[in-house]
Each structure stands twice: as C-alpha cells, then as structure tokens.
Amino acid sequence: MVRRSIALFLSVLLLWGTLAGCGKDSLEAEPDQWKLEAFAGCLEARFDTAAEEYPLLEGTEEENTVCVLRGAEEGPAVYLVAGVHGDEVAGWRAGNLLKGATLKAGTLYIVSPANLYGARENQRKTKSDRDLNRSFPGDPEGWDAQRIAYAIFTDIQDKQPDLVLDLHEARSKQGDRDALGNSLICQSLDGIGDLILEALLASEAGELCGSALTLYGSPPAGSINQTVTEMLGIPTVTVETYREEPLARRMQNQLEFVQYVLEYYEMR
C-alpha cells in the first residue's frame, strides 16, 4: 500500500510539476532529460490545493521565491528547502517538481533551489564562493551566502512549521570526507523520533527509497539543520541521496521520502 501510494504521488509530479502549483521554474530541465519509468502512470485523485508564492530578498541579486501549497483542510506545516548546494541536482529538481503537488490538508512551503546562482552554474557554493550551508543563521548585511541564509532562517522562524526538510546529495568518500550514501541527518530526534524510526524500517523493508537509509547526527556548524533545530526548536531532517546512483533514482528517493512525510502527517 505504501509503495502504491508513493508511485501514484510520483506520477502526478511528472504530469503536473511543470504545469501546476507555483508555475514553471526557469531552471527546470527539459522533461525528456529526466522522464523515467519510475514516474510513469497517473494519479487516481487530486486534492483542492491553493497555490501562491512570495519573494525572499526582493529586489536584490539574490531574490528568490517561496512556493506555498495549502490543502483545503487544516493541518501541519512543512517547510522544504532544496538545493542549498547548487550542484546537488536531484535535491532541487525534486523540490521543483514538488511545486506541482497537491495536498489534502496543511501547508507546504518550498524554497527550490535555495542557492539559485549555484544551481545555474552547477556549483556547490554561491557567487562569492561561500558555502550557504555553513552560513546560518545568516546576516542581512553580510556576504551573499549570509544574506540568503538570513532570509530563509527568518522566514522559517516566521512560519513556525512543524518540520523542516532539507534536500541534499552525498558524494562518494573523498579523503577525510564521509561517504554518507542514502541517509537522513538529524541534529535531534525530539518530536520526530517515531517518524524517523518508521522511515528507517520502511526503507529496510524495501517499501521506501531504493535502499536502506542510514541515520546520522551532528550536522555541521552553520548548517540549516543544526541552526534551525538548536535556535528555533524546530525539528529538521536532511535527506541525502548518493551521487554515484543515476539521477533518476536519486530524484525518486527524494520524492519518496517527502511523500512518506506528507502521508505521516496526514497532509496527503
């Protein structure tokens, strides 16, 4: 049942991700570049969803847009940030597709790609060669990464979501760098312990993502995960997909996990 529900959800993202929600993103790939059998089929039911958007850093070189999807029923709020590192393509392409999703209940905020310059240039860092995921909570008067971090951090603080999702990709092991593979990272499990445990068990059983997920703690200093968790008390989950796998599989893993979370919170 879980696998069938996820397959149906993925199909609507293929069919509607470029047409519905908050509109077509200028960074979106041509459909034929990533259309896969994994996204084939059609969704049996769609929900009435109000879609809107608002700017971050309006009128600046770093201006970005937050897409907001609201279900017809009251429910939790999830704030999703994808593409903090611009070259982690599967994360922000999945985030863009999610702008065309529909909800039964609750609210989904989407910032994707968070590092617009990095996504355009296919580079990890910002225009000033700063790591956005080491720059939180940011500084409105600082360098570009600090300004972007501050805008996202203060928006999360304002919206007070029940959960923040942070979509990333993991490299293969290089030197002292850990090989995270397909994994979840949490600074704290307070308030989300059951969700994480059930997701890990579902992945081990072959019901979620393409392989078993590994759980890690201690995200780096200045990361959105550590900062939002510690300073705002809002649980945050970083989703890593393994860049040695095909783009199709990595995107599917991201989408499956987000779908799992939305179903867990009864938003779909």
Domain boundaries, the chain: 2-264
Q: Are the CB atoms for 260 and 253 separated by under 8 Å?
A: no
Higher pLDDT, 140 or 25: 140
CA distance 264 to 250: 21
Q: Are the CB atoms for 181 and 170 separated by under 8 Å?
A: yes
CA distance 147 to 56: 10
* pLDDT given at position 179: 72
Q: What is the helix (H) or strand (E) element at residue 70, kind and residue range?
A: strand 64-71
Q: Which pTM was predicted?
A: 0.89
Per CATH, the number for 2-264 is 3.40.630.10
E strands present in 131-195? 163-170, 183-185
Of 35, 4, 27, which is closest to residue 120 (Cα–Cα)?
27
* pLDDT given at position 75: 98
| 41, pLDDT greater than 60 | no
CA distance 105 to 242: 31
**What's the whole-number mean pLDDT along residues 21-41?**
45
| 23, pLDDT greater than 50 | no
CB atoms within 10 A of CB 216: 15
* pLDDT given at position 126: 98
